[in-house]
Structure 1
């Protein structure tokens, strides 16, 4: 009986939808609301199956869920466009956090109950197909955001960029400006393989940037934006300009190295002197040895 009623309803839905082919162009324009009706018919047919059930209020008006679907599609398009445009140089976290946050807001709307209702659009949008397209897209964006460690460069509510991140990018921009300015000031003096002037002029800027990066690394506040910026800067500094960062702790390093080198010499020398001193203590004087022999002979004669 259940299968018979299901078949009848499916046939009625098909008849309702199939009637569109009997209309001419004028009639088609009048009944342009057949698409919403087709959605209603599809949901009605699915609701008759035991593995698919919809709440009555959602079934009667799926427009709310369709609106959320369009909103999710627009958010996904905006986020994808931002991620692609900021893929090189990598500035995902600083420029795409608003789009990502809006996507998460839409996903929360899909999972939360509708207005003046106790049900949500989860069943229709997230669980109605085997592939679960929306869930897969959302997981893709979450994985990309997590692998980029963007949360490290944002406030806890992800609505603003950390001040430490802004400071780093300002130092980075200042260093790049120093590179460009130095190259433009003396292009004739700079030989193809000699960038000593760049190294001298931008040494302080590079040191400040490197120190700030180390500080952020210890504080676990690095994201892909900062890591990519620092890696590109180090390649320019060491490979392109052939610069080296002078070490201010040269004297302590030399002292420690010398101590480590001479430590085995001191050890073996002290061991040798200690062993010679023991040998001297064990050797008896000749007079003491002869006196001891006489005493032994007297003992034997007695």
Structure 2
């Protein structure tokens, strides 16, 4: 009987489920750490999968919002009963590598360097549901992009590819003529966005515009003729032509004339004096003498 009891206790020691002796349940900071690890992994997987074409901001906003909530909990949750040590202090104390801090900084740097806050605003996690909204300029850009894609589809009969590389197209289509107004519209709107946005344009929009320009200029070989640019080119050609014609006509038809300067002949000094004296003599003398 004693042997059976010892064997039973040994099995319990091997397969026993142990908890923190201080906390009968898992430490709340460790629970946040486990959740933070899972969400950071999900965000990085999402970011890498949306690198080409670049759709990180709108495509990964759900995982990023959940990460932000977990990061906020690190300052609001305590690891001790007396509520003196926050989870952030608990996870980062006595840690020279600062793994948690570096992970948070890395994730936030990806989001900020992509200027995602320029196109997505108001993102938050409410009871597991992510709510967010697009900025007004982002919504207008998406509408203009849809109009451009629809024009390409009507002109070619093909859906615009997500990445316009190695696309077999027929260059005798009327894309360049029919879709020029809508292309100029989206291109000018994007330029205006770059001028008006102080914090940088969302990389989702930048990457979309880059592919749109690639499709227009390289794939369909459409050239954008700017009226101001053509005017400058015309003036630059016209003025040198006028100058050249002037010099050629002056060379073959013009006559060079040289004006000879003639010296003024003056009377000798003594002759002039004599004339004056003679006049004076005549004025004061009797003409009858």
Distance 2:82 2:272 in 1: 123
* Deviations 1:126-179, CA, capped at 9 Å, x for gaps: 234332211121111122122212222233778432121122122223322332
In the alignment, what sits opposite 1:141? 107
TM-score by length of 1: 0.65
* SS of the residue 1:155 aligns to: strand
Aligned length: 238
Distance 2:35 2:91 in 1: 12
Distance 1:254 1:132 in 2: 60
1:141-290 aligned at under 5 Å gives the runs 141-155=107-121, 159-184=132-157, 194-220=171-197, 222-249=201-228, 252-254=231-233, 256-258=235-237, 261=240, 286=263, 289-290=264-265
Check whether the contact 2:54–2:207 (CA below 8 A) recurs between aligned residues: yes
Between structures 1 and 2, the one with greater helix share: 1
Distance 1:192 1:112 in 2: 58
Check whether the contact 1:110–1:122 (CA below 8 A) recurs between aligned residues: yes
Distance 1:178 1:156, change over 3 A: same
Distance 1:154 1:28 in 2: 52
Check whether the contact 1:195–1:242 (CA below 8 A) recurs between aligned residues: no
Distance 1:195 1:137, change over 3 A: farther
Deviates more, 1:218-227 or 1:123-132: 123-132
CA shift, 1:229, in A, is 0.8
Question: Structure 1: where are the runs of 5+ without partners?
Answer: 1-21, 41-58, 186-190, 269-278
* SS of the residue 1:160 aligns to: strand
Deviates more, 1:155-164 or 1:230-239: 155-164
TM-score by length of 2: 0.67
Indicate the RMSD between aligned Cα atoms, in angstroms. 3.8
1:66-77 aligned at under 5 Å gives the runs 66-77=30-41
Distance 1:182 1:137, change over 3 A: same
In the alignment, what sits opposite 1:271? none
Equivalent position to 1:119, from 82, 85, 103: 85
Check whether the contact 1:182–1:197 (CA below 8 A) recurs between aligned residues: yes
Deviates more, 1:63-72 or 1:236-245: 63-72
* Deviations 1:22-55, CA, capped at 9 Å, x for gaps: 95334544x3024x34xx6xxxxxxxxxxxxxxx
Question: Structure 2: where are the runs of 5+ without partners?
Answer: 1-7, 125-131, 159-167, 248-257, 278-289
**Larger C-alpha radius of gyration, 1 or 2?**
2
* Deviations 1:34-91, CA, capped at 9 Å, x for gaps: 4x34xx6xxxxxxxxxxxxxxxxxx998711112112212321332232133222111
Check whether the contact 2:116–2:203 (CA below 8 A) recurs between aligned residues: yes
CA shift, 1:98, in A, is 3.3
CA shift, 1:227, in A, is 1.1
Check whether the contact 1:111–1:122 (CA below 8 A) recurs between aligned residues: yes
Distance 1:33 1:176 in 2: 60
